[in-house]
Amino acid sequence: MPNPKHLHFQAVEGREVSALLLTPKNAKFLLVLAHGAGASMTHPFMQSLSEALAAQSIATFRYNFPYMEESRHIPDRPAILTATVAAAVQAAQKALPNLPTFAGGKSMGARMSSQAAAQNFLPQTVRGLIFFGFPLHAPNKPDTKRATHLTEVKVPMLFLQGTRDTLADLTLLKPIVKKLGKQATLEIIPTADHSFHVLKSAKKSDPEILKELATATAAWMQATEWAN
């Protein structure tokens, strides 16, 4: 496994942030990957996910949001977060201009990527969005307001969700995905929580679950390319 390349780019308002570009030798796709609200691009989940994706020939461009880069605990306002997503996509495409590009992230990073797409902030060259645990609502507070913008997204979307995710009640998410039609795909990970940890009864390790996530992502990316 190659070591990630450390990069920097201008996010928004003159604020520079860090990025990690992991490129397998046989890379077929590029995923611009945003972190969740409470963990940076170097969180073990983000690192392990990037390595699992690399094993599936997917390059990843992980990056920090400005508040995380500056070691603050409270996320930036949405306008800054979505602008950072857009800047990250541009920086990633500059680094690897010949690979089909997808965007997305973990939890908050997923939602900010979808909002950036809904607001037409992302280049038209972005092929689709991938959500690792889309945060439909606050923990154990079922609601669907966070999904209203998804109808404005013009590219395909892949939702990877656990059945024990307290931030995404599947009885609410499934109808949303169904209503989006061919534009959205839902992959359910049995017994997984928001961090994609599964129950012992599943008899699967964290690395095995990450491999499942990466394999599903790669298959969906390939299918999306065929559809285009």
Give Cα 10 distance to the centre of its chain. 20
Q: pLDDT tens across 27-84, in order?
A: 999 999 999 999 999 999 999 999 999 999 999 999 999 999 999 999 999 999 999 9
How far is CA 200 from each of CA 56, 97, 168, 206, rounded to the nearest angstrom?
26, 42, 21, 11
For residue 44, give the 3-state DSSP assignment.
helix
Q: Could you give the CA distance from residue 60 to residue 54 in angstroms, rounded to a whole number?
A: 7
What homologous superfamily does CATH list for 5-227?
Alpha/Beta hydrolase fold, catalytic domain (3.40.50.1820)
Q: What is the pLDDT of residues 188-208, one digit of tens each?
A: 999 999 999 999 999 999 999
* Span 84-95, pLDDT tens digits: 999 999 999 999
Q: Which two tokens stand for residue 131?
A: 């959500």
Name the helix (H) or strand (E) containing 170.
helix 170-180
Average pLDDT over residues 109-129: 97
What's residue 227's pLDDT? 67
29-34 and 58-63 strand pairing: parallel
Residue range 132-173, pLDDT digits in tens: 999 999 999 999 999 999 999 999 999 999 999 999 999 999
Separation CA 28–CA 54 (nearest Å): 10
> What phi and psi, each to the nearest 5 degrees, are found at residue 64?
-95, 145
Report the C-alpha gap between 23 and 61 in whole angstroms.
9
Q: In the 8-state DSSP scheme, what is residue 30?
A: E
Q: What is the DSSP string of 194-213?
A: TT----GGG---HHHHHHHH
- Under the banding of pLDDT at 50, 70 and 90, the label for residue 1 is confident
Tell me the whole-structure pTM to 2 decimals: 0.96
Domain residue ranges of the chain, discontinuous segments joined by +: 5-227
pLDDT of residue 228: 62
